[in-house]
Amino acid sequence: MSRKSTQSEPSAAKLVAEESVLAHRSLSAQLERIELALGRDDLQHSAHLLNELIHQIRDHFISEESIALGVGLSSVAGGRLLHDAFVERARYLKARCLDSSAGVGNADFSDVIGQELVLLLSDLVENDLRLERSINKVSKHNLI
């Protein structure tokens, strides 16, 4: 009987994968909004959008960490340290937007911020894939 209920419940790895797909779509849409603001050299609005991105990333991480802890992974294995580092990188980019002076050179600065955002989100996706693999390993080990 417990076998049947286990089969009907989604695996932790599947939950991470599904949550990641939805989160990445949302994060990608937010990245596009930020890139548009950066393209207009609107650094104040870019900073505001980065703040929203930070909240989205934190919510995404909280969900992942809960799933990881639920299958028995440590907070370190669940990505807690990397997650904190991602949030700090996004905060740093936001601060750079707020601290930049308006005027000459903003287009180049906006390009740099945009490139750093792409790297940040690329690293986030890689982290999610590593977490999904870790959860798969733990789940398979627990079934044996």
Q: What does the pLDDT average to over 64-71?
A: 81
For the four alpha carbons of 92, 109, 60 and 136, in that order, the dihedral sign comes to: negative
The whole-angstrom separation of Cα 74 and Cα 84 is 15
- Give the domains, in start order, of the chain with CATH numbers: 14-143 (1.20.120)
Helical H runs in the chain? Answer: 2-8, 12-39, 43-70, 80-99, 106-143
The whole-angstrom separation of Cα 13 and Cα 76 is 17
| pTM of the predicted model over 0.75 | no
- For residues 30 and 46, is the Cβ–Cβ distance under 8 A? no
Q: In the structure, what pLDDT confidence band is assigned to residue 101 with cuts at 50, 70 and 90?
A: low
The whole-angstrom separation of Cα 13 and Cα 67 is 8
- As a whole number, the mean pLDDT across the chain is 78
pLDDT > 90: percent of the chain: 4
Q: In the structure, what pLDDT confidence band is assigned to residue 130 with cuts at 50, 70 and 90?
A: confident
- Determine the pLDDT at residue 52: 92
| Residue, of 55 and 99, whose pLDDT is higher | 55
Q: What does the pLDDT average to over 30-37?
A: 88
The whole-angstrom separation of Cα 130 and Cα 132 is 5
Nearest alpha-carbon partner for 61 in 24, 105, 112:
24
pLDDT at residue 60 above 60?
A: yes
- Determine the pLDDT at residue 79: 77
